Each structure stands twice: as C-alpha cells, then as structure tokens.
Amino acid sequence: MLHLVTEISRLTFIVIFAVYTYDCFAALKRHTSEKREKRLYSQQTSMIYLFLINGNLLLFFNNSDTKIFAMGLAEIVFVTIAMIIYKKIYEMASPAVVNNMCMLLSIGFIMLTRLNQAKALRQLLFACIALIITCFVPLFLGNVKLIKSLKLFYIVAGILLLAVVAAVGATTYGAKINIQIGSIAIQPSEFVKILMVLFIACMLTNDISRKQVFKTVVLCCLMILILAYSKDLGNAMIFFLTLLVMIYAATQKPSYLLYGVLLFAAAAVLGYFAFSHVRTRVTAWKDPLSVVNSAGYQICQSLFAIGSGGWFGTGLYQGMPKRIPVVDTDFIFSAISEELGGLFALCLIFICIANFLMMFNIALKINNRFYKLIALGLGSLYASQVFTTLGGVTKFIPSTGVTLPLISYGGSSLMATMLLFAMVEGLYQYRGVKEETDETQNYEDTYRRQMENERSGQDGSWRR
C-alpha cells in the first residue's frame, strides 16, 4: 500500500513542480497582463503548499513519526510568513523571486528530511534566522552613502576571512572551506562572495579608469588565489566569473571578457600540470568508471543515482541517495533526480534559470548605476554557483563541490543565498531611484574625461 502511495506521489511531485515551472515562465513572458500574472503567482503559491503537503505526508507515511508532522506544519507556517513579510517589507516586491525562493527552500526541506531529519530541522531554524536578518536588508540598501563608505571594509574583511580559513580551516574532502567555532561550522566564502560584489560595485561605479580596474582585479584575484590555495576550486571559479562579468559590465569593454577567458584557460592549464588534485578531478571527470573505487567514487555514485532514478524517479525513500558522499550538501541534486525523477530535476534547472534571468531582468530595470552593478553581480554570483554545482554533479564539468543555493544543507550557504535574494528584491524596490546629482555629475565627468582621453590619444597617433 505504501508502495502504491509512493508510486502515485512520484507522479504528483512531477506534476506539481511542472505546473509551477510553467507558471514561472508564463509570468516571465513580456506581454503577460497584470491580471494573468497575478493568477499565475497565486497558482504558484498553491503549488508550493501542495508540494509541502504531498512531501510531508509521504515522509510521515514512511516514518510514522509525529515530529515530521510538526515539521511539515512549521514549514508551511514559515513559507506563509516569508511571503507575507516580503510583501510587507518590499512594497514593490517581485512575487516571482519570493515564490521561487520558497519553492526551492521547500524542495530542500523535503529532501533533507528524507536524508537526515536532524539536519532538516536545523535547516529550518537557519531559514527562520535568515528571514529575520533579511528584514533589515532594505534599510541597508537604501543608504547608499553607508554602503559606499564600507568599501574598504568589504575587501579587507573578505581577504581576512578567506585567509583565516586557509590558515586554520578544517579540511573536508581535500578542501579547506569551514572554520569551526564551537559546534558550528561557518563557511565564510559564502558571505565573502557578496562582499566582493559590493566592493566591485563601489570601486567601479564612478571610476572606470584602467588604474582603478587594475586595482580591483588585483585585490579580487588575491581572494581567488587564497581560495585556490585552500583547494576550494569551485568557489574560486564562482568568484572569478563574477569578477569578470562585473568588470565587463562596468567598463563596457568586451575585450576584458576575452582577457578573462584567456586568463582562465591559462590558469586551468597551469593548475592541471602543477597540482595533482586538479589532475585527479579531471581524470574522474573524463572517465569516472575507470576509477570508480578511488577518484571517481563520488561522481560515479552521483551518476548511478541520477541514472537509476530515470525520468520519473524511484519515489521518495525508494532510492539509495545516501550512498553518495556529501549528498545533503554538494550532491543534493543527484538525490533529487534519483528519487523525484529526471523530469523534476529538469524543472529544477529551469527554475534556477528563471531565477537568474529575473535577477538580470531586475538589473535591466534599475536606473541607478551603482545598484545596477550590484544586481548584475548578484545575478552572476547565483548563476555561476548553480552552474558550477549542477555541472559538477552531472559530470558536465569537473566536479568542484559547491552547494546548490537554497536546497543544499548548510547555514552559511542558506543565509548567504537568502541575503542575496533579499538584496535583489530590495534593489528591485529601488529600481526607480535616480542617482544623486553629484554622483551623476561625477560619473558624467569621468565618462567625458575618458572619452576625451581616447579622442586625444587617437589624435596623437594620427598626428604621428
């Protein structure tokens, strides 16, 4: 009987999430009437509740543990409060972003409860704390002067935090990622990412001279080198991509993209020949089955899970996701694909795509250059992180071990991502704000000066 319920549930999960995903893209379309949009969003909300109810019922049937019942209720309450709060705080909040955040959190809750109940409970607590913290984001974002005055703090704190991890961090799976404080492990890189985005935005809003760009690149590359030294290659890649994107956007020079790609290629080749752990990962990526009991163990277990699950999944509790090392953090996507199905996993990829498209869309709508850069940076941060983790666990790119935002277990990751989402929502709210006159002046001045420089340079060469 339980088996039949599971069998039916694996279809209902897919249907619920497919409807949700459809709504998401239908609302994203340009010429959707406001009325229809509203209907789509409220349908999305119902799907989130349905998913939570369906998931928790199934979890309850499998465990017959009343704690799960209580947790299910708590999750529903949390999602409700989150939606109300975000609507209250961000007067012009984009419901799409909030909905997606809640949906992804819900998937994370259900999957984590299935994998490790204690961790799921902690995840819920982290989410509550993050929800409270993110209430203050609009206050902070509204104060441009304050954000800008902290420029030095961002970079110094960023470099220091990463350096501390590199020096005294705990080694997990060959990489130093966490600092252990008492019983809590903090993953500073998750927060430093956001600091970097703020730093770059501060640096390049008013001044895009070559010298300023150079300073920015050097300081950020210092962080990336520290990450590489800690063998946290996934985050090094995310930092690098975000830096590249922001430099390109701020300077509007495509040539920087080209340099960046060349630099990346050179670093990759150098890393391959200089470090054995890089080679190991590439070997495991090229032919994991040939090293199934050593370097390829993790990725093979992940692909066994994804493959065995098939398009429709095995159903919750019917697979063996626990065979995958660190399944509740870096490899949670594989567990989802195994038990909830490849179709569900595809929808998940689409929702992540929708998320970063919405972030870039918000960036497009913002008039203020400083805010725009921040929105762009956050969007790139999110997109490159999701790409790194999903690409890694599916063997599209070598696996580097980063978390799947909002779904993977981990307080730091969860809080940082909710912060990121809240900031994007906040920026959306401030999209109409024009730059202060003096700033505009500054910017215009720089712009004019630069154009003049270029022109005189051309003249000079022409004269010669």
Interacting residues toward other proteins by CB under 8 A = 1, 3-4, 7, 245, 248-250, 252, 254, 289, 292-293, 300, 303-308, 310-311, 318-320, 323, 342, 345-346, 349-350, 352-353, 356-357, 360-361, 363-364, 367, 369, 372-373, 376, 379-380, 383-384, 386-387, 390-391, 394-396
Residue 323 CB, shortest distance to other proteins, in Å, is: 5
Say if CB 411 and CB 358 are below 8 A apart. no
CA 428, CA 283: separation in Å to the nearest integer? Answer: 44
Q: Is the CB of residue 334 less than 8 Å from the CB of residue 393?
A: yes
- C-alpha span between 335 and 324 (Å, rounded): 8
Coil, helix or strand for 68? helix
CB nearer other proteins, residue 224 or residue 352: 352
Q: Which amino acid is at 164?
A: V
* Cα 365 from Cα 138, distance rounded (Å): 18
CB of 396 vs other proteins, minimal distance in Å: 5
Other C-beta atoms within 10 Å of 351: how many?
20
Name the minimum Å distance from CB 156 to other proteins. 28
Least distance (Å) between residue 308 CB and other proteins: 5
Comparison of 154 and 371: residue with beta carbon closer to other proteins: 371
Give the residue with the Cβ less far from other proteins, 299 or 419. 299
| Smallest gap from residue 293 Cβ to other proteins (A) | 7
Least distance in angstroms from the C-beta of 85 to other proteins: 29
Residue closer to other proteins by CB (options 155, 362) is 362
Residue from 50, 63, 57, 176 nearest 116 by CA: 63
For 170, the 3-state DSSP assignment is strand
Q: Nearest approach, Cβ of 291 to other proteins (angstroms)?
A: 11
Nearer to other proteins, 82 or 97 (CB): 97
Instruction: Compare residues 153 and 311 and give the one whose CB is closer to other proteins.
Output: 311
Distances (CA, A) of 63 to 54, 117, 364: 14, 11, 47
When the beta carbons of 75 and 435 are compared against other proteins, the nearer one is: 435
* Identity of residue 26: A
- Closest CA relative to residue 58, chosen from 20, 8, 17, 124: 8
Rg of the chain (C-alpha set): 23
CB 301 within 8 A of CB 324: yes
Residue 262 has a CB neighbour count (10 Å cut-off) of 10
Residue 278 or 358: which CB sits closer to other proteins? 358
- Least CB distance from residue 370 to other proteins, whole Å? 11
